[in-house]
Structure 1
Amino acid sequence: MCGIFGVWNITKQPVDVQRLLGSLQKIRHRGPDDEGYLLVDSSSREAASCLGPDSAEHVKLPRIERVFDSKFNVALGFRRLSILDLSPAGHQPMSNEDGSLWIVFNGEVYNYIELREELKALGYTFRTQSDTEVILNAYDAWGVDCLNRFNGMWGFALFDTRKNRLFCARDRFGIKPFYYHFDRKRFIFASEIKAILDYSDMERKPNDAIVYDYLNYALMDHSEETFFESVNQLLPAHSLILENGNVYIQRYWDLNPENKLSLASDADYEKRFLELFEDAIRVHLRSDVAIGSCLSGGLDSSSIVCVTNKLLFSDRVVEPELIGEQQKTFSSCFDDPRFDERQHIESVLTTTSAERNYTFPTAQNLMEDIQRLTWHQDEPFGSTSIYAQWCVMRIAAQRGVRVLMDGQGSDELLAGYHPYFDSYWGTLLSQGSFPALLREWSAYRNHYGVSYSYLFQHTLFSIAPKAFQRRVRAGRGALGLNSAFSSRFQSRYPDENMNFKSTPLSNRLYQALVRSSLPALLRYEDRNSMAYSIEARVPFLDYRLVEFIFSLPEEQKIKNAQTKFVLRNSMKGVLPEPIRARMDKMGFVTPERVWMSGELKNWVDDIFTSNSFAENPYLDVSKVKTLMADHRAGQRDLGSTLWRWINLELWRNQQIVQGD
């Protein structure tokens, strides 16, 4: 896991070395172990590899100030967090054997061992034990099609001196970031937006359309656009080629709704799922540094911890010195029992004999950390729940852990949230599966005590025309907006072209996976972990497992009013039974509503009465004050809308008004 940066001045202007060094310093937290640069003259294709002021002492290359010349109009920069092959051989930018290909790479290719053997059979030789060199030789062997052979997470830029082009790519689900600015005069890319803004002299302007999506639809990271005008993200499963002054972007992978699996029994699905899940965790455990696991006490993280424990201590897939006598787990807890999961966490710890590491986020801590958290995230976020994860990353770093396993992605794959029930009922209704629908309704009523009217309304809404759904959802979100601002975007529907061409449930899961839910969660996790120089890994997003789950019959995801049916079945005898059978869901959360009406009340009031908030161009201050009064009087529940108002103001003040 690392930080990457680069610039190509298409007009042949020389690279600004001081800005180059400054931009990479902005993302030093992503890679404190080493620093490296490549300078290129795109006319002659001459390349020079060099070091910066923070480079590791054992890397034998000249310093950048000794080799820089005005002819160099292309630069690649790299900050290293050493995870695989800790030797100087893992230094980046890295070249292939003849120096014709150079790469800066952030992420992991988990199947690099298998690919290396395949490439050796084709005649390639290797100087390192790193996955970075595997990418270089894979590109040399298979061209841009190499991406479909990788299993992992990545954001990389590869300079091909033979073709005088830059080949960039991002992993299938966007676990790793890749941002860029392109104005036909220059192309700038980075792992984080702050590095691009630091290098360029462009005006920091908010992207009003994305701000509208955030305020009205609670959407983030759903588009190639970002909250900053002129800065885009390369979408997941896309590659980018910069050649002859032009940028070409294409999608290289997608799920196929036609791929459907039919096995004889639940036991067969369960067996195949467990095989894939175990192998996903096995390859995600490949590391040369200390490994730990997030543990919330929920089904997903508990499954990872329990399976990981077997692989570590029974199968011995990791060197013992990287683990110690116990698997290390990290959890967010609260003194308020309504938000505390320790009884479930302790059950898993008893089963695995794993080491407990607890952190207790508080409202006071949040106020102390909010500016730093906002700076690291670069863009607004949806709730304070990410602060619990921030605190978990901090204690993991304090314990010396550099790789942390996490359960991100399971909810979007296996229908882990309650609204997915609506879509499943709609699927059964649209298929005419009335006996199954009645059974699911009855099971849901038994568990949650809702009325048949509730079930009927939610089922019909899930299959209603999109235009109707949009009007209803837009009405729920458009609170407190400045009328002049909102009128500019009243016909904007970000999900307009999103259609997986499958059942209502599969369509909704696909949308959550690629647009409405997971992309933002992955951004939070990347920035939170990287703030503490930790590599977070998410084995549920092993693409083999994702493709398998999307091919399953939908009753393997929801059955008898239970979500994640196939996962629950596969964990029999692996998880403590109370965890396996849990019907409630919490995860890493914070007592946001309690904090907002209690310890954070004065802080919130200070924000809403500030001069800066009075000048906010997106919100109507008088409407906000009225809505807040109703909220505090118990006449209205603003939910996450309240935090979006607050966080947008914090972000706007820090990133736009103050400029950092």
Structure 2
Amino acid sequence: MCGILAYLGAPPTKGALLPPVHRGPDGTGRRDFETPAGPLRLEHWRLSILDLSEAGAQPMSYGDGRCWVVLNGEIFNYLEIREELETRGYRFVSRSDTEVLLAAWTCWSEACLEKFNGMFAFALYDAHAHRLFAARDRFGVKPLYVVNAPEGFALASEIKQVAGLPFVSRRIEPQRAFDFLAYGMLDHTHATLFRDVRQLQGGECILLDLARWRPGRDLSVRRWHTLRPQLWKGGRREGIEAYGALLRDSVRLRLRADVTVGSCLSGGMDSSAIVCLMHDLLRGESKSAQMTFSSCFDDPRFDERPFIRCVAEKTGARSVSVFPSADDLFAHLEDLVWHQDEPFSSTSVFAQSCVFRAARAAGVKVMLDGQGGDEQLASYPMFAAPFVLDALARGRLPSAWRRVDHFRRAHSLEWVDFLKQAMSLYAPSWLDEATRKALGSSMIPPWLSASGWRTLGTRASKPWAVEARPRSDEDRVQQLSRAMIVRNSLPMLLHWEDRNSMRFGVEARVPFMDYRVVEWALGFPAEFKIEGNQTKIPLRKAMAQIIPQPVLDRTDKMGFVTPEAVWMKETATAEVRRRLEDALSQFPDYFHAAVVRNRFEAMRAGKAPHSPMFWKLLCFGVWAKRFGMTF
């Protein structure tokens, strides 16, 4: 994992392009080209993971030097691809996956993407054909941002790399700001909160013919991967065994590294499965103890140490715990927001950052994590309506009732909650809004000034909604899983994980996002995914022999949770109030200050519950000030 840059245009002034040294502390490289469209620069900041020698340095070329590439990420099945290429006569001088990528491109051109099992974002220049190609992995585990103006064109790993260019304004994209503040959503479109910076989404690529194309012209963004479920036709037991085998192989591939590999461990099902599979696969291969890193708190309501200890005892892992505090959060908040590039909706991002900081301090350069399991196995409460509607659509009334009972017991949902979910996911905006008003709420939170946001051209667009009718090859549960993987949830979570890990020069790998695991999980019948009051049945059953029983029996979900409400209500009230006032003063036309103040004081007095609005507003204000952003 590294930082990359491709810049086309007249050389910018000194300091306009910010080097992401934190992403690549082990070395830098640069290659310049003259093209028909102007000067092209490929630049790379290296985090050495595979082949630590200079043979793995980038920018890298293959063979006659025709093609050059800068790669961020890893091709995990590079050894298998290398073996196939060697049978075709290709030879290699390094042990890196980057050289395999170049040879694969030489052999199969763009079709090589379908062969890659990995997380990657890369820019490749063909110096003979004057073509620049860039691609992002299937699910966008690794970032790739785009700036395209007549003055220049850039591809970068982080927004801050290119935010200093003179043709990148410090203007906020209004709709994305509204979506974040109203709904807590980011990374669900090509747009970012920076009006002049966009991103390739997961599974997308671009090809620029520099003999004809010029900066500022339309980009032809193409989707090279579309997520489709691999429908399972066999029995439940065989399917669960197949899932376990795929996840095990995914972990096996992601253990490939020439540096120390550790793991995040929250104490939940997903991270525990990863740690236990690592233990099985590494048994007898490593002389040092496996290392895990966890976020813990003295308040038992937010502490998962009982489950973390179970996993550590089962695997013999050396468990490292960090204890995030409100003081530490606010002391480092500006720096945390700077590294994230955009505001974030929960202080759990801070807890995750503390975990990666501890990993780097312990000399661990690669970390495995459990992102993706909830989305693909449909374990969130918001899957209640799809589960019930699928059963009703098949005429299975007893099954529909069992699913209602499951979600009522597991997540304390009532009938009105099922109605709200169905309207939120499937109804047109006007009907959803009418229903919300009848139930005493609105799609526009009362602390946002509707008139102010209308002047910016924003609308309450329900970015999380799905089509009223799913595709012919999927049911409603699969439809929502797909939407959460490619748009509604995971892109944002993967963004946070990338910045938190790379801030400390650590590579985060996510075995649940192996495309084989994702496609299988989506295609497994919905009725096999829940049982009684338990979710994630495929994972529970597949891991039954290796995960400790107390973890297998869990029905709650925490995952690097923080005592955010306690911090705001008791520990850091004055600091929170000060920062809320700061945010309100920056953008007085877009917030109802009296509503925010009254709700905050009511929450402090125990007369109202904690609300995510406080952190979203606070963080948005810190981000805007840190980057100098205005509407």
Fold conserved between structures, TM > 0.5: yes
CA distance in 2, matches of 1:81, 1:254: 30
Q: Does 1:262 align with 2:198?
A: no
1:350-371 CA-partner distances (Å, limit 9, x unpaired): 1111101010001111011111
Secondary structure of the corresponding residue to residue 558 of structure 1: coil
Cα 1:478–1:600 shift into 2, 3 Å = same
Match of 2:330 in 1: 367
Match of 1:5 in 2: 5
Unaligned runs of 5+ in 1: 46-71
State the 1:479 CA deviation. 3.0
State the 1:494 CA deviation. 2.8
Match of 2:463 in 1: 494
Match of 2:147 in 1: 181
Q: Does 1:294 align with 2:264?
A: yes
Cα 1:16–1:455 shift into 2, 3 Å = closer
Match of 2:595 in 1: 623
Matched ranges for 1:131-170 at <5 A: 131-170=97-136
Secondary structure of the corresponding residue to residue 380 of structure 1: coil
Matched ranges for 1:323-362 at <5 A: 324-362=287-325
Matched ranges for 1:366-445 at <5 A: 366-445=329-408
| Count of aligned pairs between the two proteins | 615
Residue identity matched to 2:404: W
Matched ranges for 1:634-653 at <5 A: 634-637=606-609, 639-653=611-625
CA distance in 2, matches of 1:584, 1:82: 38
Cα 1:31–1:636 shift into 2, 3 Å = same
State the 1:489 CA deviation. 2.0
Secondary structure of the corresponding residue to residue 512 of structure 1: helix
Matched ranges for 1:71-150 at <5 A: 73-150=39-116
CA distance in 1, matches of 2:458, 2:603: 26
Match of 1:505 in 2: 477
State the 1:536 CA deviation. 0.3
Q: Is the 8 A contact 1:241 1:248 kept in 2?
A: yes
Cα 1:380–1:440 shift into 2, 3 Å = same
Q: Does 1:42 align with 2:35?
A: yes
Q: Is the 8 A contact 2:146 2:198 kept in 1?
A: yes
Q: Is the 8 A contact 2:342 2:623 kept in 1?
A: yes
State the 1:449 CA deviation. 6.2
Matched ranges for 1:473-492 at <5 A: 475=442, 477-487=444-454, 488-490=457-459, 492=461
Q: Is the 8 A contact 1:426 1:462 kept in 2?
A: no
Q: Does 1:18 align with 2:14?
A: yes
Secondary structure of the corresponding residue to residue 562 of structure 1: coil
Secondary structure of the corresponding residue to residue 182 of structure 1: strand
State the 1:450 CA deviation. 5.9
State the 1:199 CA deviation. 3.7
State the 1:509 CA deviation. 1.2
1:372-394 CA-partner distances (Å, limit 9, x unpaired): 10000000111101111000001
CA distance in 2, matches of 1:388, 1:286: 27
Residue identity matched to 1:29: H
CA distance in 1, matches of 2:422, 2:591: 33
1:588-612 CA-partner distances (Å, limit 9, x unpaired): 1110111111112101211233387
CA distance in 2, matches of 1:351, 1:272: 24
1:468-496 CA-partner distances (Å, limit 9, x unpaired): 34666782552311233332323534356
Matched ranges for 1:463-612 at <5 A: 465-467=427-429, 468-469=431-432, 475=442, 477-487=444-454, 488-490=457-459, 492-495=461-464, 501=471, 502-610=474-582
CA distance in 2, matches of 1:563, 1:469: 28
Q: Is the 8 A contact 1:38 1:75 kept in 2?
A: yes
The one of 164, 180, 192 aligned to 1:198 = 164
Unaligned runs of 5+ in 2: none
Cα 1:464–1:431 shift into 2, 3 Å = farther
Residue identity matched to 1:313: R
State the 1:459 CA deviation. 7.3
Residue identity matched to 1:204: R
Match of 1:224 in 2: 190
Identity over the aligned pairs, expressed in percent? 38
State the 1:17 CA deviation. 7.2
Residue identity matched to 2:160: K
Secondary structure of the corresponding residue to residue 198 of structure 1: coil
State the 1:242 CA deviation. 2.0
Residue identity matched to 2:448: L
1:181-227 CA-partner distances (Å, limit 9, x unpaired): 00144211110000011344432111111101111222111110000
State the 1:270 CA deviation. 1.5
